[in-house]
Amino acid sequence: MCNAGVTTTDFSGYFRSLVAALGGQPGWYGAFAARRPGVARAYEAGAELPPWDVVHTVLHDAAAAQGGVPAPAEIARARSLHQAAIAIWDAAPGAEPALRARLDAAAREEDAAARREHQAAARVLSATPATESAARLATLHAWTRDDHRRAASRRAELHTRLLSLPTTNRPAGSSWSGPGAEPRSRMEPASGRDMAAWPAGAPGPGGGEGAQPARGPAGGSWAESGREPAKSVGSADEGVRPARGPAG
């Protein structure tokens, strides 16, 4: 439910404050922004609504930059502002077909992420232990595992949003039965602190193309070395945007 008086500007301002609090330790979001600057700018400007996993990671990394963890009350505040912004976005004209299209895309992304994680795990098992290659593959596997978690989380979020629309705006029938209808998981993405035990010096996916997080990635969408995340409409690392954005 949308909090009375809350606008999308409230959330975007809050999100910008979290990004600013990262300071010189930008963590996963810093790497993401370096690789996808247009999407990051859209999140910070309020032109796109970041999925919850992005907000969750930035919140934890901002607290870690100050040497701590976010207080439960701060997590609740972030969740409340994000949910209020979702309610406004999803009340805008064109929200329902946009959500359906993004849910279908999220289902495809989750399937692709699962395949990449499986392939990365197989490569780790076939690597010679205690070698530079093994360390690199272990890091790659960690990225693909968290990428899969994020894809599952985003699919579940979109599914919930679609089912939360007024009945008159839902697809024909009592429930949505498209390709993305049943999320298989609600796994929470890791934070930068969770990933801190990765092998020292192990390169992240993408080699020299993208910036590497200061404390090891908190997960991301760069699942294969040298590959750019999908940039099609509905990509798993983009927020859901109705045909016309909400006022305010």
Span 83-111, pLDDT tens digits: 999 999 999 999 999 999 999 999 999 99
Residue range 222-244: average pLDDT?
35
Residue range 120-136: average pLDDT?
96
Residue-wise pLDDT for 43-77, tens only, equals: 999 999 999 999 999 999 999 999 999 999 999 99
Q: Does residue 18 have a pLDDT over 50?
A: yes
Long-range contacts of 112-118 (CB under 8 A, 24+ apart): 112/151, 113/144, 113/147, 113/148, 113/150, 113/151, 113/152, 113/223, 113/236, 114/148, 114/151, 116/144, 116/147, 116/148, 116/223, 116/224, 117/141, 117/144, 117/145, 117/147, 117/148, 117/223
- List CB contacts of 105: < 8 A, sequence separation 6 or more: 180, 232, 233, 234, 235, 236
Q: According to the model, what pLDDT value does residue 36 have?
A: 86
User: Looking at per-residue confidence, does 143 or 219 come out higher?
Assistant: 143
CA distances from 233 to 99, 176, 237 (A): 11, 20, 10
Q: According to the model, what pLDDT value does residue 105 have?
A: 97
5 — pLDDT class (breaks 50, 70, 90): low
Q: Which of 47, 211, 229, 94 is nearest to 151 (CA)?
A: 229
Q: Which of 72, 28, 52 is nearest to 192 (CA)?
A: 28
Contact (CB, 8 A) for 106 and 91: no
Residue range 200-227: average pLDDT?
32
User: Looking at per-residue confidence, does 162 or 9 come out higher?
Assistant: 162
- Entry pTM: 0.70
Residue by residue, DSSP assigns 94-158 as THHHHHHHHHHHHHHHHHHHHHHHHHHHHHHHHSPTTSHHHHHHHHHHHHHHHHHHHHHHHHHHH
Give the distance from CA 9 to its chain's centroid.
Answer: 20
Residue range 214-231: average pLDDT?
33
Q: According to the model, what pLDDT value does residue 168 have?
A: 54
Sign of CA dihedral 240, 147, 38, 49: positive
- Lookup: tokens for 123: 């490569």
Q: Is 12 helix (H, G, I), strand (E, B) or coil?
A: helix
Give the percent of the chain with pLDDT over 70: 64
